[in-house]
Amino acid sequence: MSSKKSYAYIEITFSPKTKKYFSELVKKLVPENELYYSKDEGYSYISGDVTGNLHSTLFFGIEPATINDKKLLSIIDHSDFKEVALGDLVLFNGWQNQYKILCVELLDKDGRFAEFAKKVSEFVNDKNIIYESRPHISLAYVKQDYLIPKILFKMESKLKSDKVQISIQQ
């Protein structure tokens, strides 16, 4: 029996066309031998190109028992993430600097990501969950020494999202 605690999270999902676009981008930017794959079976989601599960996590750390709460569903239903503006490609350091995560920033010029996170935080009201809103889409797990190539390419400036939904971490 696993003692690992499950959490639900709220995510923006994207269409198969958008997933294909970013998959092709990752193939251009990251040689296969630069992708990072976790050897720990508990972290199988850390597996190289992750554009097949393309999403942006809006909030992580919701108790799964609350996912059908009317107030939470109302917050999600009244969110406006039909379109998101893209920023730069960035690298975030992974756990204990074992790897990096290649991401595309999502711009929050109007503050809607931060406002959404604030509303969900108030709903969650758990002092143990601290959520820093840094909107992005994870594209690939890469080796620690990977650098984003200085090549010129035109990336989309805006994306249409598919939907906002609650999912449970497995």
Kindly state whether residue 2 falls inside one of the protein's structural domains. no
Domain containing 61 equals 8-168
- pLDDT at position 154: 67
- Write down the pTM of the prediction: 0.84
Kindly state whether residue 99 falls inside one of the protein's structural domains. yes
We report the CATH number of the domain holding residue 113 as 3.90.1140.10
Average pLDDT of span 158-164: 88
Kindly state whether residue 70 falls inside one of the protein's structural domains. yes
E runs forming strands in the chain: 8-13, 55-62, 83-93, 99-106, 136-143, 158-160, 163-168
> Into how many domains does the chain fold?
1
- pLDDT at position 1: 38
Please give the residue that has the higher pLDDT: either 27 or 41: 27
What CA–CA distance (Å, rounded) separates 47 from 26? 13
Give the whole-number percent of the chain exceeding pLDDT 90: 51
Kindly state whether residue 120 falls inside one of the protein's structural domains. yes
Kindly state whether residue 19 falls inside one of the protein's structural domains. yes
Kindly state whether residue 1 falls inside one of the protein's structural domains. no
pLDDT band at 131, cuts 50/70/90?
A: low
Kindly state whether residue 3 falls inside one of the protein's structural domains. no
